[in-house]
Structure 1
Amino acid sequence: MRVVIVGASGFLGRAFAEAFAERGTSLLCTARDPVRASAEATWPQAHTAWLAADLMQVPPASFWAAHLRAGDVVVNAAGVLRERAAGEFDAVHHRAPVQLFDACAAAGVALVIQVSALGAAVDARSAYHRSKGEADRHLRQCRVASAIVQPSLVWGDEGASAQLFAMLAVMPLLALPGGGRQPLQPVHLHDVVAGVVALAEARPARSRTIAFVGPAPVRFDDYLFDLRRQLGHARRAWVLPLPEGLFRFAARIAGHWKGSFLDAETAGMLLDGNAAPADDFTQWLGRAPRSHRAFVPAQGAEALRRGAWLRWMLPLLRWSVALVWIWTFVVSIGLYPRDQSLALLARVGAEGPLAEWLLNGAALFDLALGIGTIALSAAWRARLLWPLQLGLMAFYTAAITWAMPEFWLHPFGPLSKNLPMAAAILLLWCMEPPVRPKETRHRWNTSS
């Protein structure tokens, strides 16, 4: 058996590839950037071939036909949760899979496993679910054996949704739409992988749709509390009911940030809930799926808890540092008596026009540092901003220590407070993601 995994560089596709590789299965994996995907793969590559395929470009059936063989098992794990460009849902979830499924039928593949989503339907309210539903409907009409698996929220320690829910779980106060009464039925990544592997090995002869869900529905607020207990917090967080309209408005605002999990689409999906019977999934697993109360292993709970705290504390810390620099500008430029500021500069040897220039220039520089802390990318913050802030603080501290050492004894601590400020900046610097070399995008070309 050869398994073709479309979208093998994604969260689910990578997990499927690892599982099949452990069984010695021959793999053909697709990715937009196969060079990078192969380099980042966590499984042995001896039996893995890579193919460049960008579903946003909607490769036609003829492209897929050139790479498919009779008897293949094809797993479509490609998907996006949020549109980065208009029409991405339709291209990646609907039109490109339709071309793939038609090619599978013509090539005589043994089975197509379509990773859809719980709630997918052509008449669904969200564009995400409608695009998935259109592809599911087309696959059911194709002359090829198929399994349409529809996972609920998938928990995997490295998954974006799991990291979001872990971050929410550790918060002491939560504002949840409707108080968090929405039904969910989260499923563990290992169970999703086991279900797909079982289907691939069994190769069912007819088309079927299977909900990949946890053993039973759970309310959103209870789900977060159960995660919170697994992360080491005994007490339930305070829950503030949030009106639906306000939640949707906040989601639209959050959607303007490209790194946000929440936007108008995902907010609507959360409000609709997400649950289904687990009987078919249990049958294919040969056991009950893992309960959400056992998602976090004891040996990994502390690392996940720290990561969850950092995930929401680091942005708060960055904004706090930015406000310190901006407030320093506001105070220096006029709120603090200007004659007193000039008197302080005189004590370090700057008087007259030079003092005026230094005061105004330093204030504007502080403002630039504050704005940069908010606006610059992570790469520029790591390369320039954080070392510049630390260097400037070190210079200020050294100059004041030399000219006005009594400030170390001041009860308000104007100098000693630089120590935790420097530690905060150093932490932000250390936690920036590593800078990657420029990526080479491999695009499928219709002329090839």
Structure 2
Amino acid sequence: MKVLVLGGYGLIGEALIGRLLRDGHHVAGLGRDVLDAERRRPAVRWIAADMSRLLAAQDWLPVVAGMDVVVNAAGALQDGARDHLDAVHRGSVVALVAACEQAGVRRFVQISAIGADLASANPFFSTKAAGDKAVASSSLEWTILRPGLVIAPAAYGGTALLRALAAFPCFVPAVLSRQPIQTVSVTDVAEAVSRAVAGSLPPRLGVDLVESEARSLADVLSAFRAWLGLPQARVVPIPAILGRLAGAGADVLGKLGWRSPLRSSALAALADGVTGNAQSWNDVCDHKLQSLEATLADMPAHVQERWFARLWLAKPVIFACLSLFWLASGIIGLIRQDEAADILVSRGVPANLAHIPVLVGSAADILVGAAVLVRSLARPALLAMIAITLFYLAASTLLAPDLWLAPLGPLVKTIPALCLVLVALAVLDER
């Protein structure tokens, strides 16, 4: 069949596409930025589109034309610079369902979430439930799947945070460490979608996808630490107030375009626990869902997982250090521009021109130091840092080569800062 997967390069969507291709279907994937996906999955027909802008049936009709099945694996955690929950979870789904009915699409598979509820105070869950309602009210042959905490070989969002906390040195920090969690393997989610697409599940079905037994978040983190091959460490509960402060900080970063999983909405969801009805799946299917232990055993960790887990928590520290370093450099240059200009004059620069490079350099430092904090500007800001540093080293070598041997090493010390920029570029990608 011809199957359209929304959010096809996401944590769940990519696994679904792989399974549907193995099942022999013709698969199309939709997402905002599909360039990387096109390189990784050339067998898929990729469609570049922002769901939050497709809010009328006529917007969707060209996309769903000729499709037999639509699978919606798209979603966002919280409103931010790039994400609009109501538009993605409700508005676009309402329009999409109407388009599917008009275009004669046979089946619709909705990936929802445990806890989706119209009455929820959490916008993530209430908007998810509104989208589910639109699907369930349609004339389509629909299936709504509500996975618990999805565990996958890919790592970003909440799964990345789990790995990073599990790899914390000496101890494992955890907010709400006693809250119950039920996980599900992404391969089990893909199996459920495969069956729904094939029509082998009961029609008009809403079902939870969770392992049979709940466990505490502390136990989940301990399992991940063992999976990483790290020595056993004590899980240390972190006061809820610190979690709320971290969530508030992550919310601010969200407005700058960074998609941190440690958002206030995620903490609110964790406070309620991530649990569902495991029996609901067993009642309709003979495929038993894996436990967390079996899921981790099926995707053994190696050195790249340990590198990732350790670097993930270091990433915000790296960017904060770079921002502070460049902002401080620019601000100090402005405050002490006369002294900086005197240095240039002593090296042969005309006095009437010496202030110009100081002001330009200070403004450039402040600009890149601020820009690196904005996700959409981070890459050009990092590249600009490299260019500015290389220009500074080249100019200093021409004007004052003796500074390479100066006791405090003003030129030598720029080399480690340049290396830190290269590390930031290496870890910039979120998915």
- Report the TM-score when normalising by structure 2: 0.78
CA contact (8 A) 2:57 2:98 kept: no
CA separation in 1, counterparts of 2:188 and 2:26? Answer: 22
Q: Secondary structure at the match of 2:88?
A: helix
CA separation in 2, counterparts of 1:161 and 1:397? Answer: 47
Match status 1:323 vs 2:324: yes
Q: Which residue of 2 aligns with 1:160?
A: 157
Match status 1:384 vs 2:384: yes
CA separation in 1, counterparts of 2:297 and 2:390? Answer: 38
**Which residues of 2 match residues 22-101 of structure 1 at below 5 A?**
22-27=22-27, 29=28, 31=30, 36=35, 39-40=38-39, 42=41, 44-45=43-44, 54=51, 56-60=53-57, 64=61, 67=64, 72-84=68-80, 88-101=84-97
Aligned to 1:147, which of 133, 136, 143? 143
Q: Secondary structure at the match of 1:8?
A: coil
CA separation in 2, counterparts of 1:12 and 1:78? Answer: 9
CA separation in 1, counterparts of 2:30 and 2:4? Answer: 12
Identify which range, 259-268 or 33-42, moves more after superposition: 33-42
**Which residues of 2 match residues 13-412 of structure 1 at below 5 A?**
13-27=13-27, 29=28, 31=30, 36=35, 39-40=38-39, 42=41, 44-45=43-44, 54=51, 56-60=53-57, 64=61, 67=64, 72-84=68-80, 88-102=84-98, 104=100, 110-156=106-152, 157-172=154-169, 176-178=174-176, 180-236=177-233, 238-243=236-241, 246=245, 249-261=248-260, 262-281=262-281, 284=285, 286-291=287-292, 294-295=295-296, 300-328=301-329, 348=347, 354=351, 358=354, 361-362=357-358, 365-366=361-362, 368-376=364-372, 377-396=377-396, 400-402=400-402, 407=406, 410=407
Instruction: Indicate how the Cα distance of structure 1 residues 366 and 215 shifts in structure 2: closer, same or farther if over 3 A, else same.
Output: farther
Q: Secondary structure at the match of 2:313?
A: helix
Q: Which amino acid aligns with 1:198?
A: R
CA separation in 2, counterparts of 1:249 and 1:144? Answer: 40
Instruction: Indicate how the Cα distance of structure 1 residues 369 and 285 shifts in structure 2: closer, same or farther if over 3 A, else same.
Output: farther
How many positions carry a matched residue from both structures? 420
CA separation in 2, counterparts of 1:66 and 1:386? Answer: 42
Q: Which amino acid aligns with 2:221?
A: L
CA separation in 2, counterparts of 1:85 and 1:429? Answer: 21
Q: Which amino acid aligns with 2:73?
A: A
User: What displacement does 1:161 show?
Assistant: 2.8
Instruction: Indicate how the Cα distance of structure 1 residues 414 and 232 shifts in structure 2: closer, same or farther if over 3 A, else same.
Output: farther
Q: Deviations over 1:129-175 (max 9, x none)?
A: 11221232343344443321001222231443322332333233666
**Which residues of 2 match residues 403-442 of structure 1 at below 5 A?**
407=406, 410=407, 416-429=412-425
Q: Deviations over 1:72-105 (max 9, x none)?
A: 3432223233334799433332243334445556
CA separation in 1, counterparts of 2:160 and 2:358? Answer: 40
CA contact (8 A) 1:5 1:30 kept: yes
- RMSD of equivalent CA atoms: 4.2
CA contact (8 A) 1:109 1:144 kept: yes
User: What displacement does 1:120 show?
Assistant: 0.8
CA separation in 1, counterparts of 2:385 and 2:240? Answer: 37
User: What displacement does 1:19 show?
Assistant: 1.2
User: What displacement does 1:26 show?
Assistant: 3.1
CA contact (8 A) 2:34 2:46 kept: no
Instruction: Indicate how the Cα distance of structure 1 residues 392 and 97 shifts in structure 2: closer, same or farther if over 3 A, else same.
Output: same
Q: Secondary structure at the match of 1:149?
A: strand
Q: Secondary structure at the match of 1:295?
A: helix
Q: Deviations over 1:8-66 (max 9, x none)?
A: 35443333222111221234x35256985873451524xx5869684532232895499
CA contact (8 A) 2:109 2:142 kept: yes
CA contact (8 A) 2:20 2:194 kept: yes
CA separation in 2, counterparts of 1:289 and 1:101? Answer: 32
Instruction: Indicate how the Cα distance of structure 1 residues 398 and 429 shifts in structure 2: closer, same or farther if over 3 A, else same.
Output: farther
Q: Deviations over 1:223-248 (max 9, x none)?
A: 23322332232142654323265455
Identify which range, 115-124 or 33-42, moves more after superposition: 33-42
CA contact (8 A) 2:368 2:384 kept: no
Q: Which amino acid aligns with 2:217?
A: F
Unaligned stretches of 5+ residues in structure 1 = 435-448
Q: State the structure with more CA Rg.
A: 1
CA separation in 1, counterparts of 2:388 and 2:40? Answer: 36
CA separation in 2, counterparts of 1:372 and 1:431? Answer: 18
CA contact (8 A) 1:230 1:301 kept: no
User: What displacement does 1:121 show?
Assistant: 1.5
Q: Which amino acid aligns with 2:321?
A: S
CA contact (8 A) 1:111 1:203 kept: no
Instruction: Indicate how the Cα distance of structure 1 residues 189 and 347 shifts in structure 2: closer, same or farther if over 3 A, else same.
Output: same
Q: Deviations over 1:307-347 (max 9, x none)?
A: 23333324423432443444456666778996xx8997687
Instruction: Indicate how the Cα distance of structure 1 residues 423 and 225 shifts in structure 2: closer, same or farther if over 3 A, else same.
Output: same
Identify which range, 240-249 or 265-274, moves more after superposition: 240-249
CA separation in 2, counterparts of 1:267 and 1:126? Answer: 10
CA separation in 2, counterparts of 1:348 and 1:94? Answer: 64
Q: Secondary structure at the match of 1:259?
A: coil
Q: Secondary structure at the match of 1:148?
A: strand
Instruction: Indicate how the Cα distance of structure 1 residues 131 and 329 shifts in structure 2: closer, same or farther if over 3 A, else same.
Output: closer
- Report the TM-score when normalising by structure 1: 0.76
User: What displacement does 1:119 show?
Assistant: 0.6
CA separation in 1, counterparts of 2:187 and 2:246? Answer: 32
